[in-house]
Structure 1
Amino acid sequence: MKEYLELVNYVLENGELKKNRTGTDTLSCFAYFYRINLAEGYPLLTTKKIFFNSMLYELFWYLSGDEHIKGLREHTKIWDAWADEEGRLETAYGRFWRRYPVPENGLPGENWGKKWISRDDASGGLVFDQIQYIIDTLKEIKVNPETPNLRRMIVTAWHPGNAAESKLPPCHYTFCLNVTGNKLNCHLTQRSADIALG
């Protein structure tokens, strides 16, 4: 919580007032960084009411790979404004986490993790399951701490072609995992953060 309050204070003191596409001016700072040690507890905000179950359902929705918000609407309506008429969210995090599009024939000179590539039921194209790759790599690390994939555990929700035109490109667009001293570490990168929301 202390780290979050320091971020809020930093933005209030150093933020630059900017116009944005929503018509609501923002205070903006670039590339702020802070650490949270989860061994010391979960960093749940105490400055406002947090609906923990809604947060969990949203995380489960991400992990499911679903791009439709119909099942999520029972627990939170935060995504309603960004979905299309059918309830589809074009930049759903889970969609790219679980079904990141890959070229049909690959690219010359590149290797692809075929174990995690499948044919997508919705689009018919080939997709890469980044979350399953992470799970399998973590299992491999547990058996062999010297596994060569130790520094390749990166998940991205950013697709440049999609983000260039979408209503709401992913905010927390990538995270990198690392196991050091038998502890799992995560480095999360965001392009934008509505810090008033937490």
Structure 2
Amino acid sequence: MRILFVCTGNTCRSPMAEGLFRDLARKEGLEAEVRSAGVAAFDGDRISRHSATILEQRGIPADMSSSALTKEHIAWADLILTMTLSHKRAVVQRHPDAIDKTYTLREYVEQGGGSDDALQAQEQLIAEMELKRALGQTIPADDYSKLRDLQRRAPETDIADPFGGSLSTYQAAAQEIEASLRKLIAKLRNQQ
């Protein structure tokens, strides 16, 4: 299994997910390759100081650098796990062929690998609204009302962004990521 974690700049959440997953998978004896990238990353940037600190405190190498998401990443990955719904949208908009293997991390581990009905309806409505906007059409007030309702009913899919925050903010994000990664490892183990 080849897993790609994706966030914005590939300096905070996705490198933490990459490092934490690699370590957890090794400890569990799970065979998996892992990489990370960012939808708005610059190749070669160092990961954030706090992300590096968190990984180093756990004995995980933190000598990673950022990588902009490419079609090569998409082709390489069997599974693409994003940190937020907006990252998922960015991946699928740029690489429509990746739609069947792209999920938010929390969506994948919480909803059994597929979107629930409210999340799917929300994504469909957003796509329709974006198309109307691109065509210069007015978006009816009803659409916004439906979207708010769907957002209230849809499960939480995002991992909070610690960018610019304190070490404790990064630790909270790392805990959120690690909890989902533990579920991911259990799910992958069950699939083997």
Note whether the superposition's TM-score is higher than 0.5: no
TM-score range, shorter chain: under 0.3
Q: Which has the higher helix share?
A: 2
Q: Which has the higher strand share?
A: 1
TM-score with structure 1 length normalisation? 0.27
Which structure has the larger Rg? 1
Report which structure shows greater RCO (CA 8 Å, sep ≥6): 2
